[in-house]
Structure 1
Amino acid sequence: MFLLCKEENETPGWTLLKLPGQAPSPRCGHTVTSGGHYLLLFGGHGTGGWLSRYDIYYNDCIVLDRVSAQWRRLPTSGDPPPARAYHSMTCVGSRYLLFGGFDGKSTYGDLWWLVPEGDPIAKRSPLEALPQNKDDSVHSRKESQSEGSAILELQKRLEISASVSSSGLQIVDELEDREFLELASGLIGDEVSNNGQKEIQAVRDHWRKTAPSSVKLKELGPLLRDYQRLITRNYLANGGADLTPTESRFLGSDSHRFYHIKSASKLRMDDIPKLLEEYKQLSSD
């Protein structure tokens, strides 16, 4: 393993790292994903044998602790994904999401979560299959009608923020919202933890106590996105496609007036008090 170091106003240089612990075997096509104080290495493609070489595909999890600078094997429960390389993996909060890969014979299109013990996802059963209908035309219509609700159900079970395709609006999770996390870090005076719940609450408490005239320009983007997150989770996650809730504190046609705005740059100065008022009601539910 090599480290590329760059000091300010200096030319970067490579350093060979020789780290203790249970280091991974030589391989390619693996992923190394950053999560908190750890780097998680998964899978990869190596070779074995001496006189006759053969391919080896891995499905092991090996962690590099950034604090102790040591490798260690990560024990996991349940059936692991089949061995593979050339896949993708990303960190979502304290969870890791794995997609695809190749094992020398087959190309995968499956999706796997690696989650901490006790995580709600680990306790949930797979979605039940939709019942079959003997009448093909009726079945086709039902399948089309159920597609939207099935996606919403999947989003609820995985606790993934919804993407509202009708407006082209992408709802991102708090832990993926860089500006939101920077604001949280500034409020608590420390780095954001893995689950981020304390920091998320600190930001929302801050906005609940803030007067419209005190909202800084750099806060408008995170504020608008969190407003949209709260609406999505409170109402769309209940299975409805309509942004108007059946039971809401908001009355009249002005309800959710800022939901479809894609950028805070579209807000006017006189929108800020209205946005903040709606936000305070949403975050207090």
Structure 2
Amino acid sequence: MHNWVRASSSDLTGAPPQPRSGHTAVNVGESMVVVFGGLVDKKFLNDIIVYDIDIWQWSELTSFGDLPTPRDFSAAAAIGNQKIVLCGGWDGKKWLSDVYVMDTMSLEWMELSVSGSLPPPRCGHTATMVEKRLLVFGGRGGGGPIMGDLWALKGLIDEERETPGWTQLKLPGQAPSARCGHTVTSGGHYVCLFQLPFALFGSAYRRLPISNDEPPPPRAYHTMTSIGARHLLIGGFDGKSTFGDLWWLVPEDDPIAKRSSVPQLRNPPETKESERDLDTMAAEALRQHWKESTPETLQLKELNALLRDYQRLVTRKYTAQSSLTSTDFGLPGKQTFTFYHIKTSSELRMDDIPKLLEEYKTLVI
């Protein structure tokens, strides 16, 4: 079972993208979500904005090389942990079928030369990497009907040394109806399609069960990005309004899922600083989760967030009484906080985790 949870503004630092539709958003590596282009106030864009989920920060970047033309309704996906592939879209005058690859380390774009039969030019489609192939589904182009076809592009993995080429696929099972402006996100051997959630297991479609009744408002031209077991939905358009919101689709036992059931605070934060200091519904739910955790139940993927909150709580409670200059931070009559100066959880040893959790629980009231 999964839950929808709206992301709090306190999750974000830096300047987020303007509310937009028809953009793409791709998770690259362990911490980057890369947003490309889209439509803002009737203007087509080819900008690159990156959200770093490790430090919760948005940054606008400058790319180089064979830049894609400004467009909306294109589709993009990650190739491994470093590259992004972008295909198709609408530039305000014509439907596109071109394919570009960007290296996120150098921020350089390259247009891909593809041989053989090509999918019809289109926009509003999806592009999803599943193992070594890019799957493109649906969309609309050429003024014709909405499409429900499925294509696979090979030749994107350097080590395979394959000539890039397209193949149209036919799968068993109840396929989604023809559509455009939808989203598809992948994980392992399956794909999940929104707005009606379906999962593809063993090359057959199956509806994804949702346990809560608080989904995002209906929309099209949004993005939905896979980040581990979580999926992040950004923006979109409902026919009247352009969205700038973010929604998580997470397993119901994920700590984020607890946010949807936590009541509103009676005394909300009064300043922007305090809003960002985790005095929010999300923070209270996570802190309660960690307070009840043991070293055996705590997941490794939670350590970075736990360490950040540990350091935040130490700073808030004790900076008025200390300069925080010692390696082991402590106060007269108070316990020592061993991990205040640790930069990331990768510096922790496994036998540090019980001590970290013990000290954290003394900070949470």
TM-score by length of 2: 0.40
Higher strand fraction (1 or 2): 2
Higher helix fraction (1 or 2): 1
Greater relative contact order (Cα < 8 A, sep 6+): 2
* Pair member with larger Rg: 1
